[in-house]
Structure 1
Amino acid sequence: MLRFIDTPRQTPEKRAAELRREDFEEVYSGFKERQAEAQASRCSQCGVPFCSSGCPLGNHIPDWLRLAAEDQLEEAWRLSESTSNMPEICGRICPQDRLCEGSCVIEQSGHGTVTIGAVEQYITDNAWSKGWIKPIAPARERPQSIGIIGAGPAGLSAADELRSLGYRITVYDRYDRAGGLMTYGIPGFKLEKSVVMRRVKRLADSGVTFVQNADIGGGVPFSDLREKHDAILIATGVYKARELSVPGVGANGVVRALDYLTASNRKGFGDEVPGFDEGHMNAHGKRVVVVGGGDTAMDCVRTAIRQDAASVTCLYRRDRENMPGSAREVVNAEEEGISFRWLSNPKLLLGDANKLDGIRVARMRLGPPDASGRQSPEEIPGEDADLAADMVIKALGFSPEDLPTAFDEPDLALTRYGTLKVDPSSYETSLPGVFAAGDIVRGASLVVWAIHDARRAAASIHQYFKGQTVGAIPETVGEQQTDYDPRTYEPVAP
């Protein structure tokens, strides 16, 4: 260990930009065994592991780095999976630069952070290849039945935890494949779909029942689920797109980010996608402008360039330093030929209802901080510019859907932001025996936070069945997101 002085930081080999633009295969090749061991050996094994503090799951990062460096890879995997239900996925898509790696002590000393995410991915990918990961075999079978609504990261993680405890689990999802945004939202160049599907298959092989194309609240009344199961966990995520409020937004050629990404991912599965085949959801040959600065915007611009768009531009109203998306993704996008216009905000869409011709952009500057502490963007009068565009993709984030109406459950209490209101210590909603976890409680956030919430909610459901008073569950060590108030368990205003 402690090789950070004589062993330089190394990231997995990255495919050349001109090659990766041609397909949707993952950008990074992943570590080989000796590379992973060498990078793991750079850990300083510091007495206060700030990397663990920076991880929402409180992963035992220095411990499994040491085991990996010592070639004890099975032990490293077992320790890694003890705190995370899908470490190989987090290793691929977590913004480590903002979480564990951003808290790495040796980074502060100028030697470059340990490449924690890449080692985490290697440890579990290696476990899959060696056959160490088996279907869940509970020590005992329990009689209680639990219905989970939503097969995204929160729903799958809760199913994993609860099935391990021996409960009978049924997962309901509106889509025809499980995985949620990991399947239909995140492109393959960040997360190949086989990685998600093998997690789903393991749960199915473990006895978890999946009910796809399930319209809960529509074709399947929510009340029927409550009668059928002894407890319910709502883990639907947030899918309602935030809209762009400028004149001309209804023009043909303006699309929502999730609709666009879903169409692309479905084509990757080999599905028939009329909107894509007809050109509406296909960027081929078009001048594309993506509005937004988060990871979804990065997914859109990088998907468009792979669809052979004529040009791709990202508009963001703040500067690069204040962009919420991963800095690593911005660099990858720039390498692939995407242009960024910082401090720019849409003002008007040009053309008519049948044909989009362009977008008028206001030049912005950063003013005084707002209530969240971030500098507020302000328009600079008289500095508008027109950009040519055949396709505008709205990637402004997501809000909760109208759940009480959708589920026909008026007693299901909400926060003032439309997320489900839960007891912060138990994750139980206002309906007895109904729990909730993930983005539908927290607001739009990261996969790793969905896993965090699901694990805590699963522990509460277990306590609920044991007939114990559900007390406060110790908060996993980790930095809270700015969109979440830990005192009330409500998201703060954007």
Structure 2
Amino acid sequence: MATQKMLKFVTLGKEMPEKRDASDRRQDFDEIYREFAAQKAAEQASRCSQCGVPYCQSHCPLHNNIPDWLRLTAEGRLQEAYEISQATNTFPEICGRICPQDRLCEGNCVIEQSGHGTVTIGSVEKYITDTAWEEGWVQPGRPAFERAESVGIIGAGPGGLAAADRLRRAGVQVTVYDRYDRAGGLLTYGIPGFKLEKPVVMRRIEQLEAAGVSFVMNCAVGQDLSFAEIRARHDAVLIATGVYKIREIEAPGSGATGIVKALDYLTVSNRLSFGDAVAEYQDGTLNAEGKRVVVIGGGDTAMDCVRTAIRQGAASVKCLYRRDRANMPGSQREVQNAEEEGVEFVWLAAPRGFSGGTVVEGVMVQKMRLGPPDASGRQAPEVIEGADYLEPADLVVQALGFEPEDLPVLWGVPELAVTRWGTIKADFRSHATSLPGVYAAGDIVRGASLVVWAIRDGREAADSILSYLAQTAGAVAAE
């Protein structure tokens, strides 16, 4: 019976895929987890309790049918497991690698709450889809019939690509515009290879191209092509640009050479993995080799920066964060990986300024303590007077998060409504903006968030666009 293959969490313990030794992984940008063997994947999947109320599924932004594909994996029915996984998630092999499962599905697993250790959902998801690629089960989403309507998508990140896939499968003509020379957005240039190897992303891009999606790269909207021109070319438009404007530190000395933005730093490192020649790396501007590196911030981007600096051969790497470990926004799993690789975390520390004049030589650090909760409900950091000190630094990376660009001004569309935070104002169900036929999805609407949320938004926006196209066609026919 199938049920005999499940409910093994009492006799089988939680087991993650083997992690490469820290001394080895410091030397390259390869992914740090080894592959699950078929037997181990089946064993870990069999630990699922098949509970009646699957909190793993309800806490997944995509509401992936996790219990069913775990059961199918335990039974060795991997192609069926992949089909169920793919039904709700456009890029399961990517989410299996980079989703913070400890905060989402795995963190809400029933057997984790009962003390038996969570089912390693993310690792099994990655195993299922990697197997599907190896076996040739992943095929381009070519439509059964072609439609005349076209949709322009601005932004080739996860939200835009998820929408492109869904629209193309429905037969719509899709063109994706992006400012970079390669599609993928932060999947390509923001997330380091040790978390997400770039061929994993590129093969999805190739599949979308094979399915008939057109890509217009090196296209900065508002400069190379106006927003009005894009609207004129298409029956509907989706804005999925993400948020790329870094929050900069406003403190004495912040304009010194050697103080750089996180995204600039990560983009250069990722370009090297493609074999690109990058002047800023060659001249040392965005190269940590031999330097005392200080990264300021406590999110996942900061974790990407500190671990990149280690691999570039930094003399030392320290991460300053103004709250404590329990209150940091980044994944605890990533913090552990960084510590194993040699990163030093300095908790309850914030920059007051920078020393060195035109070239940075150090960070003036003020020590903090946690006071009463602020508006977000988290304890607010307070300065401890008289506890300042100087942290020597040759390279300082600002990783304080991202903000939206002022798209109405950049694109010359003042009628495009935005929120007080600068994000695009869109209906939270339909993703429709203030402009007819224009939709928005992902970080440009919700602010800097997770890839899995961008995928969900892109899929939902695509469905709304399909409804809009049908209504428009109906109105034209009625005339």
Superposition TM-score tier, normalisation by shorter sequence: over 0.9
Q: Equivalents in 1 of 2:453, 2:122: separation in Å?
A: 16
1:48-88, CA deviations, whole angstroms, 9 ceiling, x for partnerless residues? 00000110000100010000000000000000000000001
Task: Report the Cα offset of residue 379 of structure 1.
Answer: 0.4
Q: Equivalents in 1 of 2:240, 2:310: separation in Å?
A: 32
* 1:52 counterpart (35, 45, 57): 57
Structure 2 counterpart of 1:396: 400
- Would you say 1:452 and 2:456 are equivalent positions? yes
TM-score by length of 1: 0.94
Q: Equivalents in 2 of 1:2, 1:423: separation in Å?
A: 42
Aligned letter for 1:434?
A: V
Structure 2 counterpart of 1:379: 383
Structure 1 counterpart of 2:298: 293
1:321-351, CA deviations, whole angstroms, 9 ceiling, x for partnerless residues? 0010000000000000000000001112111
Q: Equivalents in 1 of 2:237, 2:142: separation in Å?
A: 22
1:119-151, CA deviations, whole angstroms, 9 ceiling, x for partnerless residues? 001101100000011111212211100000000
Q: Equivalents in 1 of 2:380, 2:16: separation in Å?
A: 35
Aligned letter for 1:53?
A: S
* 2:176 counterpart (160, 171, 184): 171
Q: Equivalents in 2 of 1:212, 1:32: separation in Å?
A: 39
Q: Helix, strand or coil: the match of 2:467?
A: helix
1:252-273, CA deviations, whole angstroms, 9 ceiling, x for partnerless residues? 1000000000011111111111
Between 1:219-228 and 1:132-141, the stretch displaced more is: 132-141
- Would you say 1:347 and 2:378 are equivalent positions? no
Aligned letter for 1:340?
A: F
Aligned letter for 2:11?
A: D
Q: Helix, strand or coil: the match of 1:462?
A: helix
Q: Helix, strand or coil: the match of 2:361?
A: strand
Task: Report the Cα offset of residue 153 of structure 1.
Answer: 0.3
- Would you say 1:329 and 2:362 are equivalent positions? no
Q: Give the conservation status (yes or no) of the 8 Å contact 2:57–2:64.
A: yes
Structure 1 counterpart of 2:248: 243
- Would you say 1:43 and 2:48 are equivalent positions? yes
Q: Equivalents in 1 of 2:266, 2:192: separation in Å?
A: 7
Q: Equivalents in 2 of 1:47, 1:65: separation in Å?
A: 14
Q: Give the conservation status (yes or no) of the 8 Å contact 2:45–2:73.
A: yes
1:18-70, CA deviations, whole angstroms, 9 ceiling, x for partnerless residues? 00000000000121111111100000000000000110000100010000000
Q: Equivalents in 2 of 1:284, 1:143: separation in Å?
A: 53
Q: Helix, strand or coil: the match of 2:151?
A: strand
Q: Equivalents in 2 of 1:423, 1:439: separation in Å?
A: 14
Task: Report the Cα offset of residue 408 of structure 1.
Answer: 1.0
Q: Helix, strand or coil: the match of 1:356?
A: coil
Q: Equivalents in 1 of 2:406, 2:392: separation in Å?
A: 36
Task: Report the Cα offset of residue 468 of structure 1.
Answer: 7.9
1:268-319, CA deviations, whole angstroms, 9 ceiling, x for partnerless residues? 1111111110000000000000000000000000000000000000000000
Aligned letter for 1:312?
A: V
Q: Helix, strand or coil: the match of 1:321?
A: helix
The 5 Å alignment of 1:205-354 reads 205-353=210-358
Q: Equivalents in 2 of 1:433, 1:333: separation in Å?
A: 45
Q: Equivalents in 2 of 1:3, 1:100: separation in Å?
A: 19
Aligned letter for 2:396?
A: V
Q: Give the conservation status (yes or no) of the 8 Å contact 2:321–2:346.
A: yes
The 5 Å alignment of 1:474-489 reads none
Q: Equivalents in 1 of 2:428, 2:310: separation in Å?
A: 42
The 5 Å alignment of 1:19-168 reads 19-168=24-173
Q: Equivalents in 2 of 1:216, 1:281: separation in Å?
A: 27
Q: Helix, strand or coil: the match of 1:82?
A: helix
Q: Which runs of 5+ in 1 are unaligned?
A: 470-494
Aligned letter for 2:18?
A: E
Q: Helix, strand or coil: the match of 2:256?
A: coil
Q: Give the conservation status (yes or no) of the 8 Å contact 2:142–2:212.
A: no
Q: Give the conservation status (yes or no) of the 8 Å contact 2:296–2:320.
A: yes
Q: Helix, strand or coil: the match of 2:88?
A: coil
* 1:417 counterpart (408, 412, 421): 421
Q: Which runs of 5+ in 2 are unaligned?
A: 1-5, 474-479
Structure 1 counterpart of 2:444: 440
Q: Give the conservation status (yes or no) of the 8 Å contact 2:370–2:379.
A: yes
Task: Report the Cα offset of residue 425 of structure 1.
Answer: 2.5
1:135-188, CA deviations, whole angstroms, 9 ceiling, x for partnerless residues? 112122111000000000001000011001110000000000000000000000
1:207-257, CA deviations, whole angstroms, 9 ceiling, x for partnerless residues? 000110011111101111111100000000000000111111101100000
Structure 2 counterpart of 1:363: 367
Count of equivalent residues: 468
Q: Equivalents in 2 of 1:238, 1:458: separation in Å?
A: 20
TM-score by length of 2: 0.97
Q: Equivalents in 1 of 2:214, 2:156: separation in Å?
A: 11
Aligned letter for 2:244?
A: Y
Q: Equivalents in 1 of 2:223, 2:432: separation in Å?
A: 23
Q: Equivalents in 2 of 1:468, 1:377: separation in Å?
A: 52
Between 1:267-276 and 1:197-206, the stretch displaced more is: 267-276
Structure 2 counterpart of 1:466: 470
Q: Equivalents in 2 of 1:92, 1:151: separation in Å?
A: 19
Percentage of matched positions with identical amino acids: 65
- Would you say 1:184 and 2:189 are equivalent positions? yes
Aligned letter for 2:150?
A: S
Cα RMSD (Å): 0.9
Structure 1 counterpart of 2:477: none
Structure 2 counterpart of 1:199: 204
1:436-478, CA deviations, whole angstroms, 9 ceiling, x for partnerless residues? 0000001000000000111110110011011189xxxxxxxxx
Q: Equivalents in 1 of 2:166, 2:197: separation in Å?
A: 24
Task: Report the Cα offset of residue 424 of structure 1.
Answer: 2.2
